[in-house]
């Protein structure tokens, strides 16, 4: 045992001597090679800045009018958010919209409510300019720490014909997403103008244009002699799109589930605010979207303007909504309450028609009898009819605006090519 211990000590000593010789030779070689052989280390501040840049979230910016906000706007914001970690949205001022496109249907404060409620939006910049000027672009990069400016693949031209995003492209800070086809504010305004015109004329048949909108029939509808046409909805609902918009999570076992239903046609700030209040009353907000047939039977054959799947996506994009029932029944039954474990059924004080509350066939009779019905004071006095009245009141201005936009949209569809995106 003593001999083995002595042998181990000798080996350790020999290893130390050899290691010392190698280290000494390395130091001598570096010294003889001169100071340039030693790699220079970056200053500590530079290392810290580089580390912070790696840790800092990627912030992307997208602007828009977001007038009469629809699921196409929401899908653009969803795609933009996927290109970064934080999405900052610029909401263009009323004055800038009027100067570049024509009068907006919804004022800035309503558009801000709508954009802020989209679940992919992290922050907003009100009164954003229509064109990305050098001054505003530098402000985005320095004050807001924006990394990239985002826009769809459809052209955005200023009145003088120049590209509104030319400077961002030149700076190498521009990224493009795919436009959501089948809907636009121009298209929706056109639908309303057509429906109003049909309602006021002596129609020789009873086939509503809205039925064409909801079914997606036809390529376009002539606008009555002006030579331009308004595209009928070509929305093609897919299961993937619904999954992309949904939260993909259900309520917990002890969640307080709140239920609210309605048409949610031309999804507007009034809808958003009542949904916000409803969500505050529980842990999970379930929203029922009535069918096109149900809405037509209660509000006339010219309604809804948006079809069931279009309306469902707009509601799903709202941050206050957890889940929707696509094609909810008119009556809230005991079986439905039990199936979805609903704790509270609510309805706002502002709606298209409140007469049903006095009828014997009150759709909320069951939850009222169960003591789980509550009427909420609506924060905003806005309905779908409010939006339609705005269009009718400025019919000529919106007709001119649409004719101008329809020309650019037609050009886009004729020259479009495949763009990767969803």
Averaged pLDDT for residues 9-35: 54
Residues 6 or more apart from 379 whose CB is under 8 A from it? Answer: 270, 273, 274, 277
- Per residue in 38-81, pLDDT (tens digit) is 445 566 666 556 655 567 899 999 999 999 999 999 999 999 99
CA distance 357 to 372: 16
- Per residue in 153-190, pLDDT (tens digit) is 877 777 777 888 999 999 999 999 988 766 777 788 87
Specify the higher pLDDT residue, 46 or 29. Answer: 46
**According to the model, what pLDDT value does residue 392 have?**
80
Q: Are 336 and 322 in contact (CB under 8 A)?
A: no
The DSSP output letter for 359 is S
Token pair 């999970």 is found at 284
Task: Name the token pair of 9.
Answer: 């000590």
What is the pTM assigned to this prediction? 0.76
| Residue-averaged pLDDT of the chain | 80
Give which of 326, 336, 333 is closest to 362, Cα–Cα: 333
Question: 204 to each of 198, 199, 224, 242, how far by Cα in Å?
Answer: 10, 11, 15, 38
Residue 226 has pLDDT above 50, yes or no: no
Give the percent of the chain with pLDDT over 90: 51
Token pair 């828009």 is found at 64
Question: 302 to each of 48, 114, 214, 239, how far by Cα in Å?
Answer: 62, 25, 11, 28
- Per residue in 248-281, pLDDT (tens digit) is 889 999 999 999 999 999 999 999 999 999 999 9
Q: Are 388 and 357 in contact (CB under 8 A)?
A: no
Q: Are 332 and 249 in contact (CB under 8 A)?
A: no
Specify the 3-state DSSP secondary structure of 379.
coil
Averaged pLDDT for residues 408-417: 55
The DSSP secondary structure of 289-309, one letter per residue, reads EE-HHHHHHHH-TT--SS-HH
Q: Are 254 and 359 in contact (CB under 8 A)?
A: no
Averaged pLDDT for residues 287-306: 91
Residue 258 neighbours by CB distance under 10 Å: 25
**According to the model, what pLDDT value does residue 155 have?**
72
* β 148-152/59-64 pair status: parallel
Question: 255 to each of 96, 189, 274, 285, 367, how far by Cα in Å?
Answer: 45, 40, 20, 10, 18
**According to the model, what pLDDT value does residue 399 have?**
65
Residue 310 has pLDDT above 80, yes or no: yes
CA distance 30 to 318: 65
Residues 6 or more apart from 81 whose CB is under 8 A from it? Answer: 60, 87, 120, 121, 122
**According to the model, what pLDDT value does residue 29 have?**
52
Specify the higher pLDDT residue, 45 or 90. Answer: 90
């Amino acid at each position: 045992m003593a001999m083995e211990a002595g042998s181990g000590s000798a080996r350790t000593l020999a290893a130390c001597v050899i290691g010392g010789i190698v280290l000494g030779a390395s130091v001598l070689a570096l010294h003889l090679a001169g100071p340039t052989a030693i790699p220079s280390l970056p200053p500590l501040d530079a290392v810290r800045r580089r580390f912070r840049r790696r840790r800092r979230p990627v912030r992307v910016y997208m602007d828009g009018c977001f007038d009469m906000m629809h699921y196409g706007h929401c899908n653009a914001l969803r795609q933009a958010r996927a290109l970064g970690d934080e999405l900052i949205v610029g909401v263009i001022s009323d004055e800038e919209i009027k100067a570049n496109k024509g009068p907006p249907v919804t004022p800035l404060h309503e558009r801000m409510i709508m954009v802020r409620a989209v679940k992919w939006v992290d922050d907003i910049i009100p009164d954003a300019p229509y064109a990305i000027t050098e001054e505003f672009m530098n402000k985005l990069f320095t004050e807001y720490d924006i990394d990239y400016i985002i826009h769809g693949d459809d052209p955005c031209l200023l009145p003088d014909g120049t590209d509104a995003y030319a400077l961002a492209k030149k700076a190498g800070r521009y990224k493009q997403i795919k436009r959501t086809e089948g809907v636009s504010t121009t298209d929706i305004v056109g639908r309303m103008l057509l429906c109003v015109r049909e309602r006021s004329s002596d129609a020789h048949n009873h086939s509503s244009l809205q039925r064409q909108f909801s079914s997606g029939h036809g390529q376009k509808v002539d606008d009555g002699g002006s030579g331009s046409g308004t595209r009928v909805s070509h929305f093609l609902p897919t299961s993937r799109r619904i999954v992309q918009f949904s939260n993909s999570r259900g309520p917990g076992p002890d969640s307080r589930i709140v239920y609210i239903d309605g048409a949610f046609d031309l999804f507007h700030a009034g809808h958003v605010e009542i949904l916000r209040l409803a969500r505050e009353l529980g842990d999970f907000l379930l929203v029922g979207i009535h069918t096109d047939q149900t809405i037509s039977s209660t509000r006339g054959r010219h309604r809804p303007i948006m079809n069931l799947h279009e309306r469902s996506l707009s509601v799903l994009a709202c941050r206050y909504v957890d889940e929707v029932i696509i094609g909810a029944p008119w009556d809230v039954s005991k079986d439905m309450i039990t199936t979805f474990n609903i704790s509270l059924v609510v309805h706002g004080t502002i709606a298209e028609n409140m007469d049903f509350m006095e009828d014997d066939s009150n759709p909320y009779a069951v939850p009222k009898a169960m003591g789980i019905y509550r009427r909420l004071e609506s924060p905003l006095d806005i309905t779908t009819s409010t939006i339609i009245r705005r269009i009718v009141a400025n019919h000529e201005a919106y007709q001119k605006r649409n004719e101008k936009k329809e020309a650019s949209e037609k050009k886009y569809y004729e020259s479009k090519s495949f763009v990767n995106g969803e």
